[in-house]
Chain A
Amino acid sequence: MEKFVKLTGVAAPMPLVNIDTDMIIPKQFLKTIKRSGLGANLFDEMRYDDDGNEIPDFVLNQPAYREAKILVAGDNFGCGSSREHAPWALLDFGIRCVISTSFADIFYNNCFKNGILPIALPQEKVDELMDDAERGANAVLTVDLENQEITGPDGGTIGFDVDPWRKHCLLNGLDDIGLTMEKAASIDAFEAKAATERPWV
């Protein structure tokens, strides 16, 4: 997993609430057996018309936001299915950070496993950043994970919370599985105990 330390980039505004994983990556793109290549179809049904042409109004099709690295979104971002194709598609497009008031649980977890930082902030802070994001090519934010701070285009800063363990993994690009395997002795011990207590499992 790629490390996440500090990110500077254009933030795109998506004020819609309840942006679900079917919107982020529609199911016809889940037929792949790979993780890469999904960026072209990120937000497919909002981004292209029936003939596959770009819909000019859609935010990521506007010249200023084509290279966006950050999304500022409405409440409850990422609700719906467990598909990890949603963060894969965001990542493949180049989005490394999503800011909203709230996230759906599975999507939130999936982000951290892929080097994407989801940031939950109170409504008024999201509103502020949404205003910043409306400024087109000037909508540049800097997200500093080490110091847990977002710097806006005018130099103002907003702090954010993040679970210390997840922060540690993101900063160092650590693979969960390897870390868990270091605890194999505890898992072995648990299994042995469970085998006597609940042998039917």
Chain B
Amino acid sequence: MSPKTLYDKIWDAHLAHEAEDGTCLLYIDRHLVHEVTSPQAFEGLRMANRKVRAPDKTIAVPDHNVPTTEGRENPDAMPEDSRTQVAALDKNAKDFGIHYYPVSDVRQGIVHIVGPEQGWTLPGMTVVCGDSHTATHGAFGALAHGIGTSEVEHVLATQTLIQTKSKNMKVEITGKLRPGVTAKDITLSVIGRTGTAGGTGYVIEYCGEAIRDLSMEGRMTVCNMAIEGGARAGLIAPDEKTFAYIKGRPHAPKGAQWEAAMDWWKTLYSDDDAHWDKVITIKGEDIAPVVTWGTSPEDVLPIDGEVPAPESFTGGKTEAAKRALEYMGLKPGQKLKDIEIDTVFIGSCTNGRIEDLRAAAEILKGKKIKVKRAMVVPGSGLVRAQAEEEGLAEIFTEAGFEWRLAGCSMCLAMNPDQLQPGERCAATSNRNFEGRQGRGGRTHLMSPAMAAAAAVTGKLTDIREIM
């Protein structure tokens, strides 16, 4: 047999049909659904009198547009448009008989945090969701990617997706990371290097010692942002850490099934002499704590750097950088560490897991914030409960943070959690686009520890100086 990459292996195991012209039907093992990109898909099913083909493989949870303030179980407490979408999902989940975690359920949370937490996401699976950060699940060695609403409808009706195969890219992070450098810094640095279109047409597999050393949480952070580099999906081969994370989760296989699953999971790695269309190697020790300065996730620099001059770029990027600096209210040559911020957001499917909250709380312990507003939005109700049990919630509230209920919140600011024009935010989320966190709002992306450090100093801060 010819050598294969991990992506090749998962692809081959899910090919349900291949037409003569090469169009493939890929079978989908898990379909995650949320309230914002699904209503039109269910409406389409109803209109065509179609059913959900595999309700047992379909899991729904409202997250994007739910309030994160107390009392939200009461529908009257929601703004009308949120209520409409949540009510539509409630009804669709019931009518079509799919798994559902309503807002009142402690297991509710951001779809990409709930999936792994409940054991829905397993190695070697195909996972899709009408959300681009579905790549998160790749941390388990699952082929996971975002789809549009028409494709959501297609998967609901047929449990397959029409696909063409992507190319294989290997991103290797060798050696050890330096102190203060996290999974977020790895993933941002890769995008800084390849650009937001560098991964277009590829599925990325992350490997190397620095990736192996990451916890499952950290690996999810890395894969989460594969899409920000343009890739269809990000993957990390499963290993003992992966299996240990999964074991005992509510929907993980048990007993003899576990043994059978393990037999297969252990074959899920890229063969030594597999073919790669592109290889990128970065030394772990060369990665610094980074922040973004512009309005694209590729606008990344080490925290001890300076705001770049638009002329230092070529092609259309010069114009884009000019526009970005104007939008961000920054001048070339300004030290990143001098940039003052007024808002801090810790949360999202990139960095809303327990480990992220621990890292932030570690910095905040016994300190007070110097910003106008800071909020922590745990990624799920269970993360929130655990953080309360560990005493983290208290550290946050004593420091002056708002302690919220689970949801996407200020990552995309569809609910009332928004920046005002001109406000500047240190955020642990994944996108710094114009208006992403509120019209005119300015976003700097970074790791949870760096965001916490910014909260206590009121400026972008080099975590290494306060560790």
Task: State which of A55-63, A79-87, A133-141, A146-154 sits at the interface with chain B.
Answer: A79-87
Q: Cβ of A23 < 8 Å from any Cβ of B?
A: yes
Query: Which of B177-185, B212-220, B279-287, B434-442 interfaces with chain A?
Result: B434-442
How many residues of B are counted as interface, with CB atoms below 8 angstroms from the partner's CB atoms? 75
The stretch from B236-244, B312-320, B334-342 touching chain A is: B312-320
Count chain A CB atoms within 10 A of each CB in B48, B50, B162, B261 and give the residue with the most.
B162
List the one stretch of A5-13, A64-72, A91-99, A185-193 in contact with chain B. A185-193
Q: Is the CB of B319 within 8 A of A84?
A: no
Task: For the complex formed, measure the closest distance between the CB of A36 and the CB atoms of chain B, giving whole angstroms.
Answer: 10
Say whether A180 faces chain B, with CB atoms less than 8 Å apart: yes
Contact A183 B17 (CB under 8 A): yes
**Is A187 a contact of B131 with CB atoms below 8 Å?**
no
Please, which residues of chain A bring their CB within 8 A of the CB of B124?
A: 198
Bound Cα distance from A131 to B201, whole angstroms: 28
Chain A facing B: main interface SS: loop
Residue A18 contacts which of B40, B153, B320, B435 (CB distance < 8 angstroms)?
A: B320
Q: A residues within 8 A CB of B131?
A: 81-82
With known contacts A31-B85, A33-B43, A176-B154, A84–B230 Cβ distance under 8 A: no
Knowing A110-B148, A187-B17, A187-B160 are in contact, say whether A74-B316 is a contact too (CB < 8 A): yes
Measured between beta carbons, the chain B residues less than 8 angstroms from A28 are 414
Determine the distance from Cα of A176 to Cα of B25 in the docked complex, in whole angstroms. 11
Q: What's the least CB distance linking B320 to chain A, in Å?
A: 5
Interface membership of B197, Cβ < 8 A:
yes
Chain B residue contacts of A180, Cβ below 8 A: 25, 154, 157-158, 160, 162
Chain B residues engaging chain A, CB cutoff 8 angstroms: 13, 16-17, 19, 21, 23, 25, 27, 29, 36-37, 39-40, 43, 48, 50, 53, 57, 64-65, 81-82, 84-85, 88, 122, 124-125, 130-132, 145-151, 153-154, 157-160, 162, 164, 196-197, 200-201, 230, 232, 253, 257-258, 260-261, 264, 296, 315-317, 319-320, 323, 412-414, 421, 431, 433-436, 439
Cβ-defined contact, B434 with A45, below 8 A:
yes
Q: B197 and A30: CB pair below 8 A?
A: no
A31-B260 in contact (CB<8A):
no
Q: How far is the CA of A66 from the CA of B179 in the complex (A)?
A: 55
A50 near B85: Cβ-Cβ < 8 Å:
no
Q: How distant is B206 from chain A, measured CB to nearest CB, in Å? A: 18
Q: Footprint of B on A, CB under 8 Å?
A: 15-18, 20, 22-23, 26-28, 30-35, 45, 50, 74-76, 79-84, 87, 102-106, 109-110, 113-114, 163-165, 176-177, 180-181, 183-184, 186-187, 190-191, 194, 198-201
Are A190 and B122 in contact, CB atoms less than 8 angstroms apart?
no
Interface centre among A26, A34, A81, A190 (most CB of B within 10 A): A81
Residues B150 and A84 in contact, CB atoms below 8 Å apart = yes
A79 to B317, CA, bound (A): 15
5 residue pairs from A and B, CB less than 8 Å apart: A22-B431, A50-B421, A50-B439, A74-B320, A187-B16
- Asked whether B132 lies within 8 Å of A106 as measured between CB atoms, the reply is yes
B162–A35 touching, CB < 8 Å: no
Q: Which residues of B contact A200 (CB under 8 A)?
A: 122, 253, 257-258, 260-261
Q: How far is the CB of B152 from chain A (nearest CB, A)?
A: 8
Do A102 and B316 touch across chains, with their CB atoms under 8 A apart? no
Chain A nearest CB from B147 CB (Å) reads 6
A181 → B minimal CB distance (Å): 6
Give the A-B contact count at a CB cut-off of 8 A. 181
Are A82 and B27 within 8 A (Cβ)?
no
State the 8 A-B residue pairs at the shortest beta-carbon distance, nearest first. Answer: A200-B253, A113-B150, A33-B39, A31-B81, A17-B316, A110-B148, A84-B148, A190-B16
The answer for the CA separation of A34 and B232 in the assembled complex, in Å, is 27
Known: A50-B439, A84-B148, A165-B19; 12 extra A-B contacts, CB below 8 A, are A22-B434, A27-B413, A31-B65, A31-B414, A33-B88, A76-B196, A76-B200, A82-B130, A109-B147, A190-B16, A198-B264, A200-B253
With A22-B431, A177-B154 given, is the CB distance from A16 to B27 under 8 Å? no
